[in-house]
Chain A
């Protein structure tokens, strides 16, 4: 009889542990009752890479004008665990407009969000820090520690995704979904496949040549020089998705080349005269916020 108990316990333990899994990167409420979660209802938010339902981190600050989606969860609180979740409200509508769990940051500064029960009692709260957008940048969404791109070099036929990222005057990454647009100066060189009106854009290098990619967010814009080169293995039967080269595979601030920039489109370090093979001294210095 006793021999059955141990295996049973071993089987049961992981099951028990599962119920204690928490959502990633919560911001705990200031009254300690629960946690606020930063949700990702759509692509285009730099904090929502990977298409997860919840951001991998709660933004330190949000862009003024951004749309923000929050949820609330109880945190191991025996008093509330079986209670309905509270509604999230903004008490200062002139600072932060609310519509259910969705908010629009209207004014730079701090804005509180209240978790309110059905009988209009506040159970928890959090302050959101709203900052003016100082500049917009483009990053590689697949990079764990992305650096703003200064330029982009692709092999003909390659595809790449870029993510818009808004920064404040201190360089703080700003969360929230902003209205923004991407345009290619020469669609015959660089085509926008999808996401031209969102934060996450899907690009394809369609023809050899040079052009610019422009990101516009409100009054801010970024012009990114783009070079499309002949694919290194272009011997007649090239795989379009494998011929891309990064703008630079190393970091050299003096030349404006950035690390792991377009590497998501795969790189071919051999035989690439201007891309990832170490040519970081020349061209690409004109990108940046205007």
Chain B
């Protein structure tokens, strides 16, 4: 009895993990219609200088448990002098703005965990 209880207790964290989403990348969708179209996907961001692109970011899960819409999601530019990232009222939407020609990377953080970065280029 005591052994069964201990085994159940040990399995609880595994069970809890199994019921959570497992990060499997992000899906980026352009929301606005900038005068010069940017190129945006989950592997590359290319924005002309002076263009602001509003993107909807959806974290993807490889399990049947998806992320909740209020799960914390952050996008951060490593070089705001090249590409700025601004939050909107919608926690899943961000504004990417090309402010200086160059290259940088956009870090993605889901549920307070670093999930890598998307290379970004701001073109003339």
Contact = CB atoms under 8 A, between A and B. Distances in A.
A111 B54 CA distance: 15
A98 B48 CA distance: 20
B32 A125 contact: yes
Most A Cβ at <10 Å: residue of B31, B50, B88, B97: B50
Contacts of B54: 30-31, 125
B49 interface: yes
A91 B31 contact: no
B79 to A, nearest CB: 14
A93 B100 CA distance: 10
B89 A110 contact: no
Given A94-B100, A123-B88, A112 B52 contact: yes
B95 A110 contact: no
Interface stretch (B7-15, B16-24, B33-41, B106-114): B33-41
Nearest to A116: B86
A125 B34 CA distance: 10
A95 interface: yes
A112 B97 contact: yes
B95 A114 contact: yes
A127 interface: yes
A127 B99 contact: no
Main secondary structure of the interface of B (DSSP, over half): loop
Nearest to A127: B35
Contact of A92 (B33, B87, B89, B97): B97
A127 B34 CA distance: 8
Contacts of B51: 110, 112, 127
Contacts of A109: 49-50
A130 B50 CA distance: 10
B87 A121 contact: yes
Q: How large is the interface on A (under 10, 10 to 19, 20 to 34, 35 or more residues)?
A: 20 to 34
Given A94-B100, A95-B50, A125-B32, A114 B86 contact: yes
Contacts of B34: 30, 110, 127
A125 B95 CA distance: 9
A80 B52 CA distance: 22
A95 B124 CA distance: 12
Contact of B88 (A111, A121, A129): A121
Contacts of B97: 91-92, 112
Contacts of B98: 92
B76 interface: no
A110 B32 CA distance: 15
Contacts of B95: 114, 122, 125
B84 interface: yes
Interface in A23-39: 30-31
A111 B89 CA distance: 22
Nearest to B81: A94
Interface of A: 30-31, 91-95, 107, 109-112, 114, 116-117, 120-123, 125, 127, 129
28 contacts: A31-B54, A31-B88, A91-B52, A91-B97, A95-B50, A95-B99, A109-B50, A110-B34, A110-B35, A110-B36, A110-B50, A110-B51, A111-B50, A112-B51, A114-B95, A117-B89, A120-B86, A121-B86, A121-B87, A121-B88, A121-B89, A122-B87, A123-B88, A125-B32, A125-B95, A127-B50, A127-B51, A127-B52
Given A92-B50, A110-B50, A122-B89, 4 more contacts: A31-B88, A116-B86, A122-B86, A129-B35
